[in-house]
Amino acid sequence: MEANAKKPKAKAHPKLTPTENAALKRLEHDLITDDGIVPATKGRHAIHCLTVIGTIEGHTLSPDAQKTTKYEHVIPQLVDIEEDPEIEGLLVILNTVGGDVEAGLALAELIAGVSKPSATLVLGGGHSIGIPLAVAARHSFIVPTATMTVHPVRHSGMVLGVPQTLRYFEQMQERIVSFVTEHSKITARRFTQLMHNTGELVMDMGTVLDGRQAVEEGLIDELGGLRDALGYLYKEIEK
């Protein structure tokens, strides 16, 4: 290959008419206000910003007054991010109280499977099943004021008091611990210790970690904010 070979020219975007441009602006506005989605930022590289906020809604509907992230809406977005050649990276911003375990794990597995540079940023909170989501990307960030609550699996509704139910909970717990430890620096033993801590939460067992503690425990890769997360993505894209 010649050293001075010319680089292929970037694909030029077709020029939009004023009507088409106005329609595109309205679509972007609706995506932000209705779904909290920024299709692609307009910096040096096209970064898709995906937000995970409120309760992660699974197979059952959450109350109308509750802010939710619907997993059936996020799944096709992640497929589109992987397939769209114009999207160069993925930024997932989290402020979630947790929610449906299976839905959260499904989204975490999809984020982990994205081949493009990806980063997560925890703001406010990344609690419960939000933890697998927070560690799913290639690199994770958390601001100092954010918190993460590590606790065992909970279940609402009717529970049958049989050994099979207890084994089901154990298996679900093992899946969460396995995913978190595979995608972070924390050990399974330490994560389980934090999960079963009885000396911190008044009405429950578990541990609340702030941003610095989450990094010290190896749960999150780095303390940082939006600038740091975007800087990491730009660096990875330009490699």
* Marked catalytic residue, from 127, 139, 151, 183: 151
101-112 and 71-83 are packed helices; what angle lies between their axes, rounded to 10 degrees? 10
| Token pair belonging to 52 | 């995970």
50 close to 77: Cβ distance less than 8 angstroms: yes
For residue 125, the tally of other CB atoms under 10 A from its CB is 20
Q: Is 120 exposed, middle or buried (0-12, 13-18, 19+ CB in 10 A)?
A: buried
3-class SS letters over 28-60: HHHHHHHHCCECCCCCCCCEEEEEEEEEEECCC
188-195 and 163-182 are packed helices; what angle lies between their axes, rounded to 10 degrees? 130
What is the 8-class DSSP label of residue 4? T
* Marked catalytic residue, from 48, 118, 127, 128: 128
| Token pair belonging to 191 | 């994560």
- Helical segments of the chain, H only: 18-30, 71-83, 101-112, 130-135, 163-182, 188-195, 211-216, 226-238
Whether residue 151 lies in the annotated active site: yes
25 three-state secondary structure: helix
Dmax (CA) for the chain in angstroms is: 72
Catalytic residues: 128, 151
